[in-house]
Structure 1
Amino acid sequence: MADPTRLQLLSVIVGSTERRATIGHLADALGLTQPTVTHHVRILVEDGVLVRRPVGKFVWLSVAEDRAASIADLLR
Protein backbone atom coordinates (compact mmCIF):
# COMPACT_ATOMS: atom_id res chain seq x y z
CA MET A 1 0.00 0.00 0.00
CA ALA A 2 2.93 2.33 0.37
CA ASP A 3 3.28 2.61 -3.41
CA PRO A 4 1.70 5.86 -4.65
CA THR A 5 0.60 4.27 -7.93
CA ARG A 6 -1.38 1.60 -6.09
CA LEU A 7 -3.04 4.25 -3.96
CA GLN A 8 -3.98 6.15 -7.13
CA LEU A 9 -5.43 2.99 -8.68
CA LEU A 10 -7.53 2.36 -5.59
CA SER A 11 -8.66 5.98 -5.53
CA VAL A 12 -9.87 5.80 -9.12
CA ILE A 13 -11.76 2.56 -8.46
CA VAL A 14 -13.36 3.76 -5.22
CA GLY A 15 -14.20 7.13 -6.79
CA SER A 16 -15.85 5.68 -9.87
CA THR A 17 -19.63 5.62 -10.17
CA GLU A 18 -19.87 1.83 -10.06
CA ARG A 19 -16.83 1.39 -7.77
CA ARG A 20 -15.15 -0.72 -10.42
CA ALA A 21 -12.85 -0.20 -13.40
CA THR A 22 -11.02 -2.03 -16.16
CA ILE A 23 -7.27 -1.99 -16.76
CA GLY A 24 -7.84 0.28 -19.75
CA HIS A 25 -9.90 2.74 -17.74
CA LEU A 26 -7.27 2.86 -15.01
CA ALA A 27 -4.46 3.36 -17.52
CA ASP A 28 -6.33 6.22 -19.20
CA ALA A 29 -7.31 7.85 -15.91
CA LEU A 30 -3.74 7.86 -14.59
CA GLY A 31 -1.84 8.30 -17.84
CA LEU A 32 0.01 5.01 -17.38
CA THR A 33 0.65 2.14 -19.75
CA GLN A 34 -1.52 -0.94 -19.48
CA PRO A 35 1.46 -3.19 -18.59
CA THR A 36 2.29 -0.87 -15.67
CA VAL A 37 -1.28 -0.92 -14.43
CA THR A 38 -1.46 -4.70 -14.87
CA HIS A 39 1.68 -5.12 -12.76
CA HIS A 40 0.26 -3.10 -9.87
CA VAL A 41 -3.20 -4.69 -10.16
CA ARG A 42 -1.66 -8.18 -10.02
CA ILE A 43 -0.01 -7.31 -6.71
CA LEU A 44 -3.24 -5.86 -5.30
CA VAL A 45 -5.19 -8.95 -6.39
CA GLU A 46 -2.58 -11.30 -4.88
CA ASP A 47 -2.78 -9.33 -1.61
CA GLY A 48 -6.57 -9.68 -1.56
CA VAL A 49 -7.21 -5.95 -1.93
CA LEU A 50 -8.80 -6.14 -5.40
CA VAL A 51 -10.99 -8.77 -6.98
CA ARG A 52 -11.35 -9.52 -10.68
CA ARG A 53 -14.77 -10.16 -12.19
CA PRO A 54 -14.97 -11.15 -15.85
CA VAL A 55 -18.07 -9.79 -17.58
CA GLY A 56 -18.21 -10.56 -21.29
CA LYS A 57 -14.94 -9.52 -22.84
CA PHE A 58 -14.01 -7.19 -19.96
CA VAL A 59 -12.44 -7.91 -16.61
CA TRP A 60 -13.72 -5.52 -13.97
CA LEU A 61 -11.67 -4.72 -10.89
CA SER A 62 -13.17 -3.72 -7.57
CA VAL A 63 -12.07 -3.50 -3.97
CA ALA A 64 -12.66 -6.73 -2.05
CA GLU A 65 -15.71 -6.37 0.19
CA ASP A 66 -13.82 -7.37 3.32
CA ARG A 67 -11.20 -4.67 2.65
CA ALA A 68 -13.53 -1.84 1.55
CA ALA A 69 -13.73 -0.08 4.94
CA SER A 70 -9.98 -0.13 5.53
CA ILE A 71 -9.28 1.09 1.98
CA ALA A 72 -11.82 3.92 2.40
CA ASP A 73 -10.07 4.95 5.64
CA LEU A 74 -6.69 4.78 3.95
CA LEU A 75 -7.77 7.04 1.10
CA ARG A 76 -9.18 9.77 3.37
Structure 2
Amino acid sequence: MTTALHATVEAQACCAPLVAAPISPPDAEALARTLKALADPTRLRLLSLVAAHEGGEACVCDLTDPVGLSQPTVSHHLKVLVDAGLLTRDKRGVWAYYALVPGALDSVAAVLATRLRG
Protein backbone atom coordinates (compact mmCIF):
# COMPACT_ATOMS: atom_id res chain seq x y z
CA MET A 1 0.00 0.00 0.00
CA THR A 2 1.34 3.41 -0.86
CA THR A 3 2.10 5.85 1.92
CA ALA A 4 -0.60 8.31 0.78
CA LEU A 5 -3.24 5.57 0.53
CA HIS A 6 -2.16 4.13 3.89
CA ALA A 7 -2.50 7.59 5.49
CA THR A 8 -5.99 8.02 3.97
CA VAL A 9 -7.15 4.62 5.26
CA GLU A 10 -5.74 5.37 8.74
CA ALA A 11 -7.39 8.81 8.76
CA GLN A 12 -10.76 7.30 7.85
CA ALA A 13 -10.43 4.62 10.54
CA CYS A 14 -9.37 6.97 13.31
CA CYS A 15 -11.68 9.79 12.35
CA ALA A 16 -14.83 7.78 11.67
CA PRO A 17 -17.90 9.48 13.09
CA LEU A 18 -18.75 8.43 16.64
CA VAL A 19 -22.46 8.94 16.07
CA ALA A 20 -24.39 6.53 13.88
CA ALA A 21 -27.26 8.97 13.32
CA PRO A 22 -28.01 12.39 14.72
CA ILE A 23 -30.59 12.54 17.47
CA SER A 24 -33.76 14.47 16.69
CA PRO A 25 -34.57 17.60 18.69
CA PRO A 26 -37.54 15.97 20.50
CA ASP A 27 -35.47 12.87 21.31
CA ALA A 28 -32.62 15.08 22.55
CA GLU A 29 -35.03 16.97 24.83
CA ALA A 30 -36.47 13.76 26.28
CA LEU A 31 -33.07 12.14 26.76
CA ALA A 32 -31.62 15.29 28.35
CA ARG A 33 -34.53 15.45 30.81
CA THR A 34 -33.98 11.81 31.76
CA LEU A 35 -30.21 12.14 32.05
CA LYS A 36 -30.60 15.31 34.12
CA ALA A 37 -32.85 13.39 36.52
CA LEU A 38 -30.30 10.58 36.72
CA ALA A 39 -27.33 12.94 37.19
CA ASP A 40 -28.05 13.44 40.88
CA PRO A 41 -26.51 10.90 43.33
CA THR A 42 -29.53 11.01 45.65
CA ARG A 43 -31.92 10.28 42.79
CA LEU A 44 -29.75 7.41 41.58
CA ARG A 45 -29.79 6.00 45.10
CA LEU A 46 -33.57 6.43 45.39
CA LEU A 47 -34.08 4.73 42.04
CA SER A 48 -32.00 1.76 43.15
CA LEU A 49 -33.74 1.60 46.55
CA VAL A 50 -37.18 1.54 44.93
CA ALA A 51 -36.12 -1.10 42.41
CA ALA A 52 -34.58 -3.28 45.14
CA HIS A 53 -37.44 -2.85 47.60
CA GLU A 54 -39.67 -5.82 48.36
CA GLY A 55 -42.37 -6.01 45.71
CA GLY A 56 -40.54 -3.49 43.54
CA GLU A 57 -42.28 -0.51 45.09
CA ALA A 58 -41.60 1.72 48.08
CA CYS A 59 -43.30 4.42 50.09
CA VAL A 60 -41.57 7.72 50.86
CA CYS A 61 -41.56 6.61 54.49
CA ASP A 62 -39.36 3.65 53.47
CA LEU A 63 -36.83 5.90 51.72
CA THR A 64 -36.09 8.79 54.06
CA ASP A 65 -33.82 6.90 56.48
CA PRO A 66 -31.67 5.15 53.84
CA VAL A 67 -30.82 8.46 52.14
CA GLY A 68 -30.75 10.50 55.34
CA LEU A 69 -33.01 13.26 54.03
CA SER A 70 -36.31 14.74 55.14
CA GLN A 71 -39.60 13.54 53.68
CA PRO A 72 -40.18 16.75 51.66
CA THR A 73 -36.71 16.52 50.11
CA VAL A 74 -37.16 12.84 49.24
CA SER A 75 -40.60 13.60 47.79
CA HIS A 76 -39.09 16.32 45.61
CA HIS A 77 -36.44 13.92 44.25
CA LEU A 78 -39.09 11.27 43.61
CA LYS A 79 -41.23 13.81 41.74
CA VAL A 80 -38.28 14.58 39.46
CA LEU A 81 -37.90 10.85 38.75
CA VAL A 82 -41.64 10.52 38.06
CA ASP A 83 -41.61 13.55 35.75
CA ALA A 84 -38.66 12.03 33.87
CA GLY A 85 -40.67 8.84 33.29
CA LEU A 86 -38.46 6.64 35.44
CA LEU A 87 -40.87 5.99 38.33
CA THR A 88 -44.62 5.69 38.69
CA ARG A 89 -46.52 7.11 41.66
CA ASP A 90 -49.56 5.39 43.14
CA LYS A 91 -51.43 7.30 45.86
CA ARG A 92 -53.02 5.05 48.49
CA GLY A 93 -54.75 7.04 51.18
CA VAL A 94 -52.19 9.42 52.66
CA TRP A 95 -49.21 7.45 51.32
CA ALA A 96 -47.66 7.50 47.87
CA TYR A 97 -45.91 4.39 46.57
CA TYR A 98 -43.27 4.52 43.86
CA ALA A 99 -42.22 1.82 41.41
CA LEU A 100 -39.72 1.67 38.56
CA VAL A 101 -41.31 2.07 35.14
CA PRO A 102 -40.68 -1.24 33.37
CA GLY A 103 -38.05 -0.78 30.67
CA ALA A 104 -37.43 2.92 31.47
CA LEU A 105 -33.70 2.45 31.97
CA ASP A 106 -33.56 0.02 29.04
CA SER A 107 -34.95 2.72 26.77
CA VAL A 108 -32.24 5.17 27.90
CA ALA A 109 -29.56 2.57 27.19
CA ALA A 110 -31.12 1.74 23.82
CA VAL A 111 -31.14 5.37 22.70
CA LEU A 112 -27.47 5.69 23.59
CA ALA A 113 -26.54 2.34 22.05
CA THR A 114 -28.22 3.13 18.72
CA ARG A 115 -26.54 6.53 18.56
CA LEU A 116 -23.00 5.55 19.51
CA ARG A 117 -20.88 2.99 17.75
CA GLY A 118 -19.43 0.43 20.08
- Which residue among 24, 31, 56 is the counterpart of 1:19? 56
Question: Alignment length, in residue pairs?
Answer: 71
- How far apart are the structure 2 equivalents of 1:57 and 1:43? 20
Q: Is 1:55 aligned to 2:92, yes or no?
A: yes
**Highest CA radius of gyration, 1 or 2?**
2
Shift of 1:66: 3.4
TM-score by length of 2: 0.54
Equivalent AA in structure 2 for residue 57 of structure 1: V
Which residue matches 1:40?
77
Shift of 1:56: 3.5
Higher helix share: 2
Which residue matches 1:7?
44
Deviates more, 1:49-58 or 1:9-18: 49-58
Equivalent AA in structure 2 for residue 24 of structure 1: C
In structure 2, the residue corresponding to 1:48 is in which secondary structure? coil
Equivalent AA in structure 2 for residue 44 of structure 1: L
Structure 2: gaps (5+ residues): 1-37, 109-118
Question: Taking every aligned residue pair, what percent have the same amino acid on both sides?
Answer: 38
String of CA shifts for 1:16-72, please: whole Å, max 9, x gaps: 11111111111122211111101111111111111011233321100112315468x
In structure 2, the residue corresponding to 1:21 is in which secondary structure? strand
Equivalent AA in structure 1 for residue 102 of structure 2: E
Structure 1: gaps (5+ residues): 72-76
- How far apart are the structure 1 equivalents of 2:55 and 2:48? 13
The RMSD of aligned alpha carbons is 1.8
